Structure 1
Amino acid sequence: MAALSPPPSALPGPAAAHSRPDPPRLAPSLALRPAAASRRVPHCGLAVSARLYSSGPSSGANGSVGDPSPWGGEELQHGLPPPPRAAVGAPVFVTLPVDAVAPGGRVARRKAMAASFMALAAAGVEGVAVEVWWGIVERDAPGAYDWAGYVDLVSLARRHGLKLRVIMAFHQFGSGPGDPCWIPLPRWVLEEMEINPDLSFSDRFGRRSREYISLGCDNVPILKGRTPIQAYSDFMRNFRDTFQDFLGIIITEVQIGMGPAGELRYPSCPSEKLARPNSLPELGEFQCYDKYMLASINACAQNVGMSAWGSGGPLGAGNLFQNPEGTHFFKNDGSWNTAYGQFFLEWYSGLLLLHGERLCMAADAIFWGTGVKILAKVGGIHWHYGTNSHPSELTAGYYNTLTRDGYLPIARLFSRYRMTLCCACFDLRDAEMGQVNPESSPEGVLRQLVYAARMCNLPLTGENSVTRLDDESLNQVVKSSKLYKDSLYGHSLSFNFVRMNKNLFDRHNWTRFTRFVRQMSDGRTFQAKLDIGARESYFHSVSASEEIGRARIF
């Protein structure tokens, strides 16, 4: 494997040339977690006085003692509080092509990649994001890791002053061997799937998905004596040990893949179809028919004394392109809203949450003390958001309906492990999607995810769903970012543009993109100008409406 020297700040001194002490570490249960940011009342330039009933003069850190009061105390004139901190924008990352590291484990088109890095750095981009493919690094045998291509990428990023967001990609990419960007799971995993097909998700028709190993066997030693969670953990641990001198310096963020397309969800619909958000809306299929998932639901049904509920997914779920109102389960007054529907959907979504928690626990333990931020992604499933039952979200594992918030439990899970929430749909508009499907609402899904993130004080990373560089799409990203971003209140936002291709560097596209990067990086983009009395202050438009009733915005 190619050698990579650590950055100057990571080079050991003479006394530490032969040993590198581990950073101090608290037990996870005793770790101090940042308190939720308190909301500040906008300062309106008024001096505040308080009468202190004391026998002698006193002073505070930011006050002065005035004339004695008639009541024998002292009047304390408090000085003005410090002004709000400088506005902070939303740094922009750019996702590299899927085949940035080719299946052979080497950087593809290295000279072009280096030139692209130079251009991105000059444009003010914070860094690049890259999928670290399980099917490339550990492709030949369990525990045989080949990081050479990614070592080279770290070297390029370091040379051009870019940070690196690494995505642990435990899923396949592409529709099959004929796809020019086909990246399957490791060869030895596919061999195990041939021997035991139930390692793959299955729908009611017996159609199997190999995008991701069934989470029904998370803790079953089906991978040459290891469980899938152990295999994912070993992969992350080896990554940490290989790149330890660059974590928190060049590699600043690690996103944990938790399902198809790296998202915490079921493969209810092929990911290549989800990548086309304006395609015909599919209800999706419940992925609960492999033997491990069936064993789980059967055990849960036995526990509640309803063994008849443990035979699989719900009946009457219709076909993929059927109108939800034509199905027994998904229609507005369908069985999704019955005792059985509640049982099934709580089990189905609960198993997904449990899978997410297992990976959160593993990542938290492995990357503790390294200085990297940990991210996890939620899918932007918006096709039936305007219905009561939200069928395409239910089949993906999000128990989100008209009467139930399915994203808040996920946000709370991520919050417990100090993670950053990543979600797409930042570039999509209801007006555009509604032309294909009137029930679609990407803006509604995004608003709900933003609300969950703010409720749980989660940092947020946004993404575009379609690789477009027209003004409407980029302006929509800025508009969507303003739903969350608030430099005064400490909410941390970044944006990941998906993904780099040759069209990005077209002269007109590049001009629009560099303007977009400057706009996102400028904290003033996320402030509204308020006139309060005779004094001007800047506050985020959404927060200002919450804090100040009748302020004049202009």
Structure 2
Amino acid sequence: MAISEAEQPESPYSGTPYIPVYVMLPLGTISMDNKLAEPENLRKELETLKSVGTDGVMVDCWWGIVEGTSPLVYDWSAYRQLFTMIRDTTLKLQVVMSFHQCGGNVGDDVFIPLPKWVLNVGRENPDIFFTNRGGVRNPESLSFGIDDEPVLEGRTALEVYYDFMQSFRKELQEFLEDGTITEIEVGLGPCGELRYPSYPETQGWKYPGTGEFQCWDKYLLKSLKNAADMRGHPEWGVGPSDAGHYNCMPDESDFFRGGYKTSYGDFFLTWYSESLIEHGDNVLTVARHALGNMKLAAKVSGIHWWYKTRSHAAELAAGFYNQSSRCGYTPIAKMLATHKAAFNFTCIELRTAEQNTLFPEAQSDPESLVYQVLQAAWAVQGVEVACENALPCYKRSGYDQILAQAKPKGYTKHSLVAFTYLRLTPELLEEQNLREFTRFVHQLHGTSMPSILNEGSC
């Protein structure tokens, strides 16, 4: 898709700061049997991405594949083959340490569970997994409660994460040293995000349900009880019994109608959110030791539904104690600053008006949420901010929304350090979609762009 210089008019974003663009590779790029899937086709797709100006790609390193069969037995061979291919195309690489399950929902075409040996431990001790009030376990990721509990064949969860990342550094050091790998995003929870698995589709959650608190495994309950005892209120050492179920609306449960504002509600939400941040702090600490001075990042999910309500119920259930009187994201940014880790936020492409048209009952406001989070993160010294889109996006109006958030009018002080596009698909590489993506890349780069027609909506 060659474009002559004469076809490159000035963009309204010409001369703005250069924001590098990465594209997430398909979830199944490395197959469950630890092989590089369709290497020749992938090579062609990488060359196409490079030809339109893409800076790099993002790749999940799946714990369930690399250490899949036995503890402390790692196989990075397929990733070495993949990284070599990426380096040969001169693309850069964001790597995700993916300590979570991939897929498992209806319609998913890729399913990568946690390592078999971990699931075997979970059969004997299901409390290693997050648990809701009904006692239902979630094997998508490990409970934060076992970070320091030696329940994984004699190792704590933090030791397991450290050993995995240390093995990565040892086996793939050359790609760190030659600059192919520019960043390592450390998985901190379900979907690799710093949050609780409060809205699992595998357990029947449907948008825009508030979700459920996830603190009923014995390890988190012990932590909660200890916190309540220290406050002199041992009766507070239990999770809320009146917060409804996954698909409740906020006004259908006593807790989100007003219980969250009581002394107990504030105590519980403070403990719940601080436990989340402490987990992120713990994992990033061992990541820094394992990975050295490599640039780190952490992903924070954009829980935009019920943002317009007083309770912010969905955010609370996910672990973000965000209210009109307190910002739930500033403490996260401060924690990331101590590790010099980038704050990677999602849902930057969503438009409030469109969400309100599609789901008026959700009282969603993604634009205000994104604005709040970016401002909160930028206000913390030492934190860089990156973003991703949350849903597939191929048309101009969606890209324009991303640009409006990434490069707001009149901004001079702050900008994103990177944008990662979800995701490389056959649809993205269709001619018209690729033309729109090329235009978008040039605008994020702040350079002259190819002339692209056919406006649309995302």
Q: Describe the superposition over 1:40-91 as per-residue Cα deviations: whole angstroms up to 9, x where unpaired.
A: xxxxxxxxxxxxxxxxxxxxxxxxxxxxxxxxxxxxxxxxxxxxxx753111
What is residue 181 of structure 2 aligned with on the other side? Answer: 251
Instruction: Note the aligned Cα RMSD (angstroms).
Output: 2.1
Q: Is it true that 1:392 corresponds to 2:314 in the alignment?
A: yes
Identify the structure with the greater helix proportion: 2
- Structure 2, unaligned runs of 5 or more: 1-14, 450-458
Partner of 1:418: 340
Contact 1:485 1:493 in 2 (8 A): no
2:193 to 254, 258, 263: 263
Aligned partners of 2:387 and 2:416 also within 8 Å: no
* Residue of structure 2 in register with 1:83 after alignment: none
Determine the C-alpha separation between the residues in 2 that align with 1:523 and 1:285. 45
Partner letter of residue 180 of structure 1?
D
1:515 aligned residue (439, 446, 451): 439
- For each residue in 1:306-354, what CA deviation from the matched residue of structure 2 results, as whole angstroms up to 9, or x when unmatched? 11111x21132123333312321112xx011111011100111111111
1:271–1:145 CA distance, 2 compared to 1 (3 A)? farther
* Deviating more after overlay: 436-445 vs 181-190: 436-445
Deviations 1:498-525 (A, max 9, x none): 1111111111111111111111111689
Tell me the equivalent position of 1:297.
224
Q: State the secondary structure of the residue aligned to 2:170.
A: helix
Offset of residue 176 of structure 1: 6.0
Aligned partners of 2:344 and 2:268: how far apart in 1?
A: 27
Listed as ranges, the matches of 1:297-376 within 5 Å are 297-310=224-237, 312-331=238-257, 334-369=258-293, 372-376=294-298
TM-score (norm 2): 0.90
Which of 479, 482, 489 is 2:407 aligned to?
A: 482
Q: How far apart are the structure 2 equivalents of 1:461 and 1:519? A: 16
1:434 aligns to 2:356 (yes or no): yes
Counterpart selection for 1:210 from 122, 139, 142: 139
Query: With structure 1 as the length reference, what TM-score do the two structures score?
Result: 0.75
Report what 2:113 is aligned to.
Answer: 184
Within the candidate set 299, 311, 325, 1:403 is matched to: 325
In 1, are the aligned partners of 2:244 and 2:253 still within 8 Å (CA)?
Answer: yes
1:179 deviates by: 4.4
Q: Percent identity between the aligned chains?
A: 39
- Give matches, 1:47-196, under 5 Å: 87-175=16-104, 179-196=108-125
Specify the SS of the correspondent of 2:298.
Answer: strand
Q: Please state if 1:280 is matched with 2:207.
A: yes
Q: How far, CA to CA, are the matches of 2:95 and 2:352 in structure 1? A: 31
Could you say what secondary structure the match of 2:185 adopts?
strand
Residue 460 (structure 1) shift: 1.3
Change beyond 3 A, Cα 1:337–1:184: same
- The residue type paired with residue 313 of structure 1 is G
Query: Partners of 1:266 and 1:485 in 2: how far apart?
Result: 36
Report how far residue 401 of structure 1 moved.
1.4
Question: CA contact under 8 A between 1:88 and 1:523: conserved in structure 2?
Answer: no
Residue 419 to residue 485, structure 1, CA distance change in 2 (3 Å): farther
Letter in 2 for 1:399: Y
C-alpha deviations, 1:434-488, integer Å up to 9, x for none? 12035101111111110112101421111001112011111111111124995x5
Q: Give the secondary structure class of the aligned counterpart of 2:199.
A: coil
Whose Rg is larger?
A: 1
Question: Looking at both structures, which has the greater relative contact order when contacts are Cα pairs under 8 Å and sequence separation is at least 6?
Answer: 2
Q: Which runs of 4+ in 1 moved over 6 A?
A: 271-274
SS of 2:296's equivalent in the other structure is: strand
Question: Take 2:212 and 2:372, find their aligned partners in 1: how far apart are those partners?
Answer: 23
Whole-Å Cα distance in 2 between the matches of residues 89 and 465 of structure 1? 22
Q: Shift of residue 178 of structure 1?
A: 8.4
Instruction: State the match for 1:447 in structure 2.
Output: 371
- Matched residue SS, 1:174: coil
